[in-house]
Structure 1
Amino acid sequence: MTKNTFTPIHFIHKSLKYKFLLIILYLCCIVSTTTILPAQIAKTVKKTSEGTEFWVCFQENSWHHALERVGKMKLTDQRGQEMYVEDRSISNFELFLSSDTTTRVRIEIVGLRYKLDTLVIGGSVRRLKIPSSAEVTGDGTLQPNAVRITSDSPISVTCLNERGSSTDSYLALPSKALGLEYYTISYHSTPTNDLVPHMAIVATKDSTIVKITPSFITSRNRPAGVPFTVIMNKGDVYQIAASNMQGYTKTERGTDSIINPDISGTRVQATKPVAVFSGHQCADIPMRVPFCNYLVEQVPPVNSWGMHFILGKFAKRSSYAYRVIAATNNTKIFENSVLVKELQAGQMYENSSAGPRNIMLTASSPVLVAQFSHGYLGGVSRTDGKSTYIRGDSIGDPMMLVVSPTQQFLREYRFATPKTSFTNWRHFINIVIPSSAIGSLRLNGRVLDTVRNYPEFVGLSSYVCIQADIPFGVHTVKADVPFGLYSYGFATNDAYGNMIGQGFDEIEEIRDSLPPTFERRNLDKKINLVIRDDKSTDKGLQSIRIISAVGLAAMYGNNYIDQPSINPGTPQYTMFVRPLNGFVKGKMEIEAKDLAGNISTYTLDYDGTNFLGALEEKPVPDLSKITETWLWGSYVIASSQYHTLNNVQTIGSTSVTGQFEAESGSPLGLGFRFNKYVGSSFSVSLKAEYLPCSIVLRGRDSLLKRVYDSVTNQYLNYQEAFVLQPTLPMISFSAGLEYQLNQLLYTFVDIQSSIILSKSAESYRQIESPLSYAYAQSGTRELPISNTGLDQVKMLLLSANAGIGIQKKIHPHLVLFGETSFNYTLHSLLQNGYGEWNYSSLRFSLGFKTSF
């Protein structure tokens, strides 16, 4: 018989194996911090419309496919006077490039083998012509006509598409702002008109699979609502045009309803980022109102849409149209706080004649909004100072611009007017800015003249809209706060328009943490209360409730009300409060709650002469970054435990001539936790856990003997072992730090102290070989022995724990979380002189946390 011993090399390998696992996991936590943190920073740094790579295209403008209709034509002014002759047979495509710093720019069109290297001087706008052969003609086929623009430093790009007096422009979106899902927005056509709405898709990567679901039958007879797939390579353009035939749909009453050709609401889904463009070859707006004009915009991806928009009326125009597209079901649309429509995914709402007013649009879910100017004869007819009758506005043509959500406004813009003053062009800008920041506005470095350019409030919102007449050239507009900027222009028979820039943050990540506000306006013998939930991150009001009223009455308009009635999602509500008797004291308490669960309570006191108000706010705590509130929670623990023993020959009262080995287990446990944030990202954590130490200890006899096996008719080695099965239940207490990587992920480190509650173990002898042998006393291979106590095991253990967690808020007051961590005991479980027993575990936790 030989003594079975572990070699030092084998022990070192087994011991370092688990220490190495601890180091690896800890490094993973550090790597997670260094790799995830930039993504978090990227969410706080604005993605803007500037970039170093752009993919654009130039679609068909006017009667490209019917050249016999195109040629020189005379244009007249509103009094019938001939002005000039234009040639519609020639396309004019231009790029307007600007940058803060001087940078090199490269332009490439693969299909035309066209390349151009040029410089853009910092602080200026460079105007470049693109070959007319770059026009994307026809539809339903792949064409390598995409224009790729790259630069060494960030630039902004505006594109102009012109054929005679059919013109429009659009803001190009950089590659970093592109997405995987889009809905198009355009305008409808008169049936049988050869000029139809169209769209285009540009691939930025090879082997891009694009699924297109048309909203209207296409000119290639692709049916509405039936998706089809196109495989595109880098630089390909795929253009789709609507059929010029009427469509039909069923109304809620089951009757047929005519649908005019329109691709608005067409859904585009791609496996890799694509650029999407939408517009019309030449649209009448409103339909059948002369004259038509080319429309185009590059469409933002769904993840950059917003819920809060300001539409400013156009200079020199008496009305305009706008359209709204929804991406999710049950999206409510509010116009100046009035519910006008509830949309399903892909559906559209249109106001074809919004009148000469500024409008605040809000939605319960992210939407896409486009604004359109009316045609030359659109608007209100009038008589001028010479008693000449003028039909409509008699200026400009239709144009289309995408409206930026207020959440995506910027603080600074640079742009150039994309047309010269030829053919009496007039250029304008619309500025949308909070009224409190008007004084910080600078146009070309100078304070904006608000006497000449008078700010007009937009409904009950805190925004104003300012129109400014600007000359041809390069302009800059700056302010101390984010604001919106739109550039447009009108000639007698032409128009263009586009937003100047915006951010492209993912709106859905922005949280509504602000309670509704109350504004009081003192009137004669009553007050006007305006209840708001209309900031850029607000979701709108859910309810308004009069908690109590003594001596005061509430009114809506001229009618007394018991309780206010609102549509959930309404951004503002206005009401009046007056005393029932002018000289009697009174009191009213009003509660306003928004859709995010934030609550404000306003107490109004009337002393017989004056009104006094007091506001109490109750915001819903953000459980991912709470700085004022303790959190508590509970969780279950699943663990995989690892035990290594070295030179352990005696445990309890059991000794073996060889040494004990360990077989690890995977027990379940339960924990409770408490957290308190000590900064914007760090929190202190306290935990209490119950987790048994699961193990089987096996000590083999080193003495072997030979026995006869009647089954195999051979002499075999005979060996026995002592087996101990302790449960070692432990209660652990830990303290540590958590670091919030972003709204979803966090990492943590704990120091843990554990108390072993019981050190008893079941013990028995076991025949290890041959397997056919059994004890005569038990009839099995196992012979129970009385329980033993593991006196050599320490009662108090100290360990370190490190890991990473993920959390998701499912309710304003409830967060679910999951964690994975590695726990390593910093010392042997055995007292000195009895060998080494090293213990570690890989843990997985799942639970909840909430606030007190």
Structure 2
Amino acid sequence: MSGASVTITTPSNGVTTTVQVTYGEVKQVEVDRVAVELRGSVKGDKAVHITSDVEIVVYGVFAELASSDAYLALPTDVLGTEYFTPCASIQRASPAEFGVVGVQDGTTVTIVPSQAVTFDGQNYTAGQAFSVGLNRFETLQVQAMQDLTGSKITATQPVAVLSGNQFAVCMPVGQKQKGSGDYVVEMIPPVDTWGKEFVTVPLTKHTGGDLFRVVAARDNTRVDITNENTKSLHAGEFLEIDVPSDEYRHVTSSEPVLLVQYSKTADADKTDTDPFMMVIPPVAQFEAEYTFSTVDLIQNRTNTTHHINLVMSYGFVRPESYGYPGGLRLARIAALCSTTAPVPADRVDNDCDGRVDEELLNGIDDDGDGLIDEDLATSNCADNRDQYRTCLRDRCRNLVP
């Protein structure tokens, strides 16, 4: 494979950079901070536009001494029109915040904040909806000195949403938010890609546990978590749990939810870590193959450690960190569904069971739903003995040297 030709444009200043990236290579491109940084609770033009002639993986990295984080950038073809935001508890004088990026001209964005906010000089109470018009590459940011988790964002056309805190310590709600903190951010998947089943994995190095938040998008959502009492959430409500560092949890829900993991402050257990926020993919969105990159932390590059858990990638050095999902599908498993003819690896929930491409073409009911070969993954050559030779030849032709 010859690689990719990637173009990065910052519309606010008109600067365009084109780079060639070979297969398996990670190339870093710095953009002007003034051109891309959202500031205040206002409308702006701080988008970053990235195009490529082949599929690529993109990470957004905010690298600052003792306050870094990163996110997995989502491609425009999987963006949606409904979101709920995860943030974190407020520490000191640093706000919770979320941003929205317009992808198409003439988009109307409606925001229902979970806390009182001031936007563009106007005051809005918690639960009071307000609308903002966005054209392509226009942006808005909403900030508040209270936790904005559960704020609802809807749009007339697909938009991108990022959420987090300017500086978070990530201690449980009700505890004093004291200790080393970080900027935390994630790019949020739209509601129609949320799931009903998750597994949690403790972060290495930490001994004082990890925080998780379950955010609901629908009323009367029942949430069941290993070793926790069943909870019922309404749309925009969230459940926070503090899970010991030696425990794994299984999370299921009656309606699609968003699960977010938080690395606590290093002061929670005196470890060489720091806060970050990371979206945990639902089991139904797991992929079979991932390509990902690590992030250089500034505080102490020599002692920085990078780690991979089952569904995530993250790194630590005291007092700095980053974390994001190593990869995930973004099939619309939570959208209204109609059964469709099975096409292998079409990333569509053909049988409307909330899972995607989970069957092999083998005449067996792999997912136990009483149907056979109804939602097909990419089959391997052994799955079809009659075409084994042709399958192998085609596979060899597609091998990357």
TM-score normalised by length of structure 2? 0.80
Counterpart CA distance in 1 for 2:233 and 2:254 is 10
What secondary structure is seen at the aligned counterpart in 1 of 2:117? coil
The question of whether the paired residues in 1 share the 8 Å contact of 2:333 and 2:354 is answered with: no
- Deviation, structure 1 residue 230: 0.2
Matches within 5 A, 1:162-241: 162-190=63-91, 193-220=92-119, 221-241=123-143
What secondary structure is seen at the aligned counterpart in 2 of 1:153? coil
- Deviation, structure 1 residue 139: 2.8
Q: 1:370 aligns to what?
A: 260
Q: 1:314 to 1:152 in 2, by over 3 A?
A: same
In structure 2, give the amino acid aligned to 1:179.
Answer: G
Q: 1:537 to 1:136 in 2, by over 3 A?
A: same
Q: 2:221 aligns to what?
A: 331
What secondary structure is seen at the aligned counterpart in 2 of 1:200? strand
1:505 aligns with 2:324: no
Matches within 5 A, 1:370-409: 370-378=260-268, 392-409=269-286
Q: 1:156 aligns to what?
A: 57
Q: 2:304 aligns to what?
A: 425
In structure 2, give the amino acid aligned to 1:144.
Answer: D
The question of whether the paired residues in 2 share the 8 Å contact of 1:320 and 1:373 is answered with: yes
In structure 2, give the amino acid aligned to 1:326.
Answer: A
In structure 1, give the amino acid aligned to 2:280.
Answer: V
Counterpart CA distance in 1 for 2:369 and 2:273 is 50
- Deviation, structure 1 residue 142: 1.9
- Deviation, structure 1 residue 147: 0.1
The question of whether the paired residues in 2 share the 8 Å contact of 1:331 and 1:342 is answered with: yes
- Deviation, structure 1 residue 510: 10
Counterpart CA distance in 1 for 2:262 and 2:204 is 13
Q: 1:224 to 1:423 in 2, by over 3 A?
A: farther
Q: 1:110 aligns to what?
A: 11
In structure 1, which of residues 277, 287, 305 is the aligned counterpart of residue 194 of structure 2?
Answer: 305
Could you give the per-residue CA deviations for residues 94-153 of structure 1, whole angstroms, max 9, x where no partner exists?
xxxxxx750111111111111111111112211211112234343332211100000111
**Tell me, which stretches of 5 or more residues in structure 2 are unaligned?**
338-351, 356-367, 376-401
In structure 1, which of residues 488, 506, 519 is the aligned counterpart of residue 314 of structure 2?
Answer: 488
Counterpart CA distance in 2 for 1:180 and 1:172 is 17
More strand by share: 1
**Tell me, which stretches of 5 or more residues in structure 1 are unaligned?**
1-99, 245-260, 379-391, 432-484, 512-535, 540-618, 628-678, 682-852
Counterpart CA distance in 1 for 2:53 and 2:36 is 27
In structure 2, give the amino acid aligned to 1:407.
Answer: A
Counterpart CA distance in 2 for 1:158 and 1:198 is 19
Q: 1:699 aligns to what?
A: none
The question of whether the paired residues in 1 share the 8 Å contact of 2:181 and 2:275 is answered with: yes
Counterpart CA distance in 1 for 2:187 and 2:51 is 18
In structure 1, give the amino acid aligned to 2:262.
Answer: F
What secondary structure is seen at the aligned counterpart in 1 of 2:12? helix
In structure 1, give the amino acid aligned to 2:147.
Answer: D
- Deviation, structure 1 residue 355: 4.0
Matches within 5 A, 1:275-354: 275-286=160-171, 287-318=176-207, 319-336=209-226, 338-354=228-244
Q: 1:356 to 1:620 in 2, by over 3 A?
A: closer
Q: 1:366 to 1:498 in 2, by over 3 A?
A: same
- Deviation, structure 1 residue 219: 3.9
The question of whether the paired residues in 1 share the 8 Å contact of 2:4 and 2:20 is answered with: yes
Counterpart CA distance in 2 for 1:680 and 1:414 is 28
What secondary structure is seen at the aligned counterpart in 2 of 1:129? coil
Q: 2:28 aligns to what?
A: 127
In structure 1, give the amino acid aligned to 2:196.
Answer: M
In structure 1, give the amino acid aligned to 2:77.
Answer: K
**Greater relative CO (CA pairs within 8 A, separation 6+):** 2
Counterpart CA distance in 2 for 1:137 and 1:305 is 27
Q: 1:228 to 1:316 in 2, by over 3 A?
A: same
In structure 2, give the amino acid aligned to 1:238.
Answer: L
1:414 aligns with 2:291: yes
- Deviation, structure 1 residue 509: 6.5
What secondary structure is seen at the aligned counterpart in 2 of 1:414? coil
Counterpart CA distance in 2 for 1:364 and 1:312 is 22
- Deviation, structure 1 residue 394: 2.6
What secondary structure is seen at the aligned counterpart in 2 of 1:185? coil
Query: Runs (4+) of structure 1 moved beyond 4 Å?
Result: 536-539, 619-622
Matches within 5 A, 1:697-776: none
Q: 1:172 to 1:103 in 2, by over 3 A?
A: same
- Deviation, structure 1 residue 338: 4.5
| Percent identity (aligned) | 31
Could you give the per-residue CA deviations for residues 699-729 of structure 1, whole angstroms, max 9, x where no partner exists?
xxxxxxxxxxxxxxxxxxxxxxxxxxxxxxx
Could you give the per-residue CA deviations for residues 412-450 of structure 1, whole angstroms, max 9, x where no partner exists?
11112111661511110102xxxxxxxxxxxxxxxxxxx
- Deviation, structure 1 residue 165: 1.1
Counterpart CA distance in 2 for 1:351 and 1:101 is 46
In structure 2, give the amino acid aligned to 1:507.
Answer: I
The question of whether the paired residues in 2 share the 8 Å contact of 1:317 and 1:356 is answered with: no
Matches within 5 A, 1:36-55: none
In structure 2, give the amino acid aligned to 1:351.
Answer: I
Q: 1:344 to 1:285 in 2, by over 3 A?
A: same
Matches within 5 A, 1:84-103: 102-103=3-4
The question of whether the paired residues in 2 share the 8 Å contact of 1:423 and 1:492 is answered with: no
Q: 1:489 to 1:538 in 2, by over 3 A?
A: same
In structure 1, which of residues 270, 274, 277 is the aligned counterpart of residue 155 of structure 2?
Answer: 270
Counterpart CA distance in 2 for 1:160 and 1:111 is 19
- Deviation, structure 1 residue 163: 1.9
Counterpart CA distance in 1 for 2:374 and 2:273 is 53
User: Which structure has the larger Rg?
Assistant: 1
Q: 1:419 to 1:680 in 2, by over 3 A?
A: closer
- Deviation, structure 1 residue 393: 3.1
Matches within 5 A, 1:524-543: none
The question of whether the paired residues in 1 share the 8 Å contact of 2:114 and 2:149 is answered with: yes
- Deviation, structure 1 residue 356: 2.8
Q: 2:43 aligns to what?
A: 142
In structure 2, give the amino acid aligned to 1:422.
Answer: R
